[in-house]
Chain A
Amino acid sequence: MIGVIGYGAYVPKNRIRTSEIARVWGKDPRNAEKGLGVSEKSVPSIDEDTITIATAAAKCALKRAGIDPKEMGAIYIGSESHPYVVKPSGTVVAAAIGCEGELRCADYEFACKAGTAAIQNVMGLIEGGYIKYGLAIGADTSQGAPGDALEYATSAGGAAFILSKKNKDSIATIEETLSYTTDTPDFWRREHEYYPQHGGRFTGEPAYFKHVGTATKMMIEKMSLKPEDVDYVVFHMPNAKFPVNMAKKLGFSKEQVTQSLVVTEMGNAYSGSSVLGLTAVLDVAKPGDKILMTSYGSGAGSDSFYITVNDAIENKRDMCPKTWDMIHNKRYIDYATYTKYRRKILMR
């Protein structure tokens, strides 16, 4: 059985309100906010990117894990916005947190579920006896074209998890994981393109709901679960409506999903989305609580996890800033500043 011995989150401090974006594009601000259920989103500063976000989250995870960084056997970072197309993010993070040396390392790009794919692969290496500790990170500075529906929610943030075989230091146990994978292209970005394209309403039923719903149902069946057996539900959050509707469709209450619903005040950090929902839950969960998390990546599918919270959570969670506290620690910027920070203005 695999345990989580440390976790960390990072959310940049800048926020732009949905209504401010709507103002610029001549849309009704009330409709923009109501339609998505997102009031504001996080924006990375000019000096923040997937590597800095991953590093910040990894430092927290290391602190909570309390292990010697040299013992880290693997680092995998999942993102749709690795700063370089060629030149890895993982090695920079490894150097920054003191894990260089004997280390397995790779960057993953697997739509918005690259972070949970990283968790699954670290689990495999530990189960196989190849490594003792492994670090899996999901982080993004997500892209949305100016004026596109995506722009209202695409944000920045990330979460990191250090895994090992389950022991007394485990704050949580991953009881089971499984994936549901199909080739369903609802969202894509080709090489040399700045912004993704998407299939509009196709991204709902046949894409998000089919995959998140199927993977979650597979987990419910495999673990013989009833909705009331689960304390917290975490879904990928392209907006606030999809995860809430998904929960409803599967028989869960809004209360079961609310703690993880970080999207409402920080937007969708792509590979960082569902994993930040998980860190928000770990920040408050009690030992014995059960967590059901299902990620989603467009054209990639869904990974589902069934997690039990352990006693060690009580001593570790206050060591680092909590997810919702980071979301509430903010400063508002206007659209002009946003375009500068997101490098949407061409400068010589």
Chain B
Amino acid sequence: MKKVAVIGVGMTRFGELWNSSLRSLTIEAGIKALSDAGVPGERVDALYTGCMSGDMFVKQGHIASLIADYGGLLPVPSTRVESACASGGLALRQGLMAIASGFANIVVVGGVEKMTDALGSQTTGYLASAADQEWESFNGATFPSLYALMARRHMYEYGTTEEQLSLIAVKNHHNGSLNPNAHFQFEVSLERVMNSTLVADPLRLFHCSPVSDGAACVVLASEEKAKEISDDPIWIIGSGQASGAIGIYDRDDICTIDATVNAGKSAYKMAGVTPKDIDFAEVHDCFTIAEIIDIEDLGFFKKGEGGKAVEEGITSLDGELPINSSGGLKAKGHPVGATGVAQVVEVVTQLRGKAGKRQIKDAEIGLTQNIGGSGGTAVVHIFSR
């Protein structure tokens, strides 16, 4: 298996981008990533784009062709990857495998979602298609309600508190306030989070990630090409993907996401590292309870201790293990298909030491974890300088 590096990253600002379309967002992120890598379009061997629901949000199918065409990259082979909110992370894995297997030398991986053209009620319905339609969504379950069930059980089993759920939002908003690409670039007080509108008990508005537009893109290269082109390649040393039960009704324990545990194990094994070796991570905090579950499932903390970790400041920007330095899905925003790739943009930016005010000191090894739905899919990647 060939070694693969990230040699260029780029992303749009995340937010309510009323003047941008699905295609313009993707192309903007792509041009930024290729410019960052210093690679002309004709050297690109393949294109992978993560996009969850362009077919529903903007009624655009055949996204692979659209992006290759409007990216000016014809006749490059182009593939659209869909795995709900894990589409971006999975697109990265496809790009990685294309190079690792020798099929390609330089690959562009993008992720995009244009969500704000749809009405709020439509958006909730489109997103609910990532749950088990027949057994969950058709019966009225929405994502906030599914994660609320997980939160309630976690509180019952481990004494996790509403305050801990809220502190995640406070932390991630602080990080987002330092990220010029974040949807929400402002701080929130604990009081504001805890008094925000109740969405699905115990989850409040500020425990939920927003509906955002945005795109992110990375350029991958084989070891040979990376060394030729780049001065500061960031190596993908571990990759893991796992599937779990699509519905939470079918799980032995809803306080854990098996897919994360299994994808994490694969990635750690491939990288030859343990959770203790990870310096910082971007995890999938679509709801603040998810961040608590993620950091436990990835082995950073014992099951049930995730809430305490944020309370003790361990996961803060200046803590021992900074989590979601970008602001996470909560503050950076969550254009679903773009999220998995944007996590990679953040980790690479940190490892290059170019994260500005939110730079993590002495970061050597970073991890990304991207979830689809309530845990039907998880993708974990590990990066090092």
**For the complex, what is the distance from the CA of A199 to the CA of B16, rounded to whole Å?**
13
Interface string of A52-95 (1 = CB under 8 A from B): 00000000000000000000000000000000000000000000
Bound Cα distance from A206 to B120, whole angstroms: 17
A166 to chain B, nearest CB (A): 42
Cross-chain contact of B119 among A28, A31, A199 (Cβ < 8 A): A199
Interface residue? A130 (CB, 8 A) = no
Interchain CB contact under 8 A, A28 and B197 = yes
- Residue B116 lies at the interface, judged by CB distance under 8 Å to chain A: yes
Contact residues of A: prevailing secondary structure: helix
A287 to chain B, nearest CB (A): 43
Any chain B CB within 8 A of the CB of A194?
Answer: no
Interface positions, chain A 176-202, Cβ under 8 Å from B, are: 199-202
The residues of A that contact B19 with a CB separation of less than 8 Å are 206
Contact assessment for B18 and A202 in the assembled complex, using a CB-CB cutoff below 8 Å:
yes
Contact B197 A202 (CB under 8 A): no
Proximity string of chain A (27-68) to chain B, C-beta cutoff 8 Å, 1 when within and 0 when not:
010010000000000000000000000000000000000000
Contact present for A201 and B16 (CB under 8 Å): yes
CA distance A202 to B18 in the complex (A): 8
Cα A200 to Cα B119 in complex, Å, equals 6
Which of B179-237 touch A at CB < 8 Å?
197-198
Whether A31 contacts B116 by the Cβ 8 Å rule is no
A31 to B18, CA, bound (A): 27
Closest A residue to B120 by beta carbon equals A200
Is A175 close to B, CB under 8 A? no
CB neighbours of A206 from chain B (8 A): 18-19
On whether A31 and B16 interact (CB within 8 A), knowing A199-B119, A201-B116, A202-B116, the answer reads no
> How far is the CB of A29 from the nearest CB of chain B, in Å?
13
Give the distance to chain B from A21, nearest Cβ to Cβ, in Å.
17
Of all chain B residues, the one with the shortest Cβ separation from A202 is B18
Complex contacts, B16 vs chain A, CB 8 Å: 201, 205
* Minimal Cβ-Cβ distance residue in A for B19: A206
Complex CA distance for A201 and B118, rounded to whole angstroms: 10
Q: Given that A201-B16, A206-B19 are contacting pairs, would A31 and B197 also be in contact in the complex, using a CB cutoff of 8 Å?
A: yes
Chain A 142-175 interface 0/1 with B at a Cβ cutoff of 8 Å (1 = within)? 0000000000000000000000000000000000
A298 → chain B, closest Cβ, in Å? 15
Complex: A202 Cα to B119 Cα, angstroms: 9
Cα-based distance from A201 to B120 in the complex (angstroms): 8
Q: Could you say which residues of chain B place their CB within 8 Å of the CB of A205?
A: 16, 18
The docked-state distance in angstroms from the alpha carbon of A115 to that of B285 is 48
- 0/1 interface trace, chain B 92-120, chain A, CB 8 Å (1 if under): 00000000000000000000000010011
B144 to chain A, nearest CB (A): 16
Q: How far is the CA of A28 from the CA of B119 in the complex (A)?
A: 21
Q: How far is the CB of B121 from chain A (nearest CB, A)?
A: 9
Chain B, 9-44, contact with A by CB distance < 8 Å: what is the 0/1 string?
000000010110000000000000000000000000
- B149–chain A nearest beta-carbon distance, Å: 21
Q: Give the chain B neighbours of A202 by CB distance below 8 A.
A: 18, 116
What residue in chain A is nearest B197 (Cβ atoms)?
A: A31
- A206 to B116: give the CA distance in the assembly, Å: 12
Cβ contacts B107-140/A at 8 Å (1 or 0 each): 0000000001001100000000000000000000
Closest to B122 in A: A200
Q: How far is the CA of A20 from the CA of B326 in the complex (A)?
A: 42
Determine how close the nearest CB of chain A comes to the CB of B208; give it in whole angstroms: 15
Contacts of B116 in A (CB 8 A): 201-202
Q: Which residue of A lies closest to B198 (CB)?
A: A28
- Return the CB mask of B336-368 against A: 1 if under 8 Å, else 0: 000000000000000000000000000000000
Specify which chain B residues have a CB less than 8 angstroms from the CB of A200 in the assembled complex.
119-120
> In the complex the two chains form, what is the Cα distance from A31 to B205 in whole Å?
12
A205–B17 alpha-carbon span in the complex (Å): 10
In the assembly, what is the distance between CA of A28 and CA of B198, in Å? 9
Closest residue of chain B to A210 (Cβ to Cβ) is B18
Closest to A206 in B: B18
Name the A residues within 8 Å of B18 (CB-CB): 202, 205-206
Q: Mark A202-213, 1 if CB is under 8 A from B, else 0.
A: 100110000000
A199 to B116, CA, bound (A): 9
Closest to B16 in A: A201
- Chain A, residue nearest B211 (CB): A201
What is the interface of chain A, defined by CB distance below 8 A to chain B? 28, 31, 199-202, 205-206
What are the nearest 6 A-B pairs in CB distance? A206-B18, A200-B120, A200-B119, A31-B197, A201-B16, A202-B18
> What is B's interface to A at a CB cutoff of 8 Å?
16, 18-19, 116, 119-120, 197-198
Can you report 15 A-B residue pairs in the complex whose CB atoms are below 8 A from each other? A28-B197, A28-B198, A31-B197, A199-B119, A200-B119, A200-B120, A201-B16, A201-B116, A201-B120, A202-B18, A202-B116, A205-B16, A205-B18, A206-B18, A206-B19
* Additional 4 contacts, C-beta under 8 A, given A201-B120, A202-B18: A31-B197, A200-B119, A201-B116, A206-B18
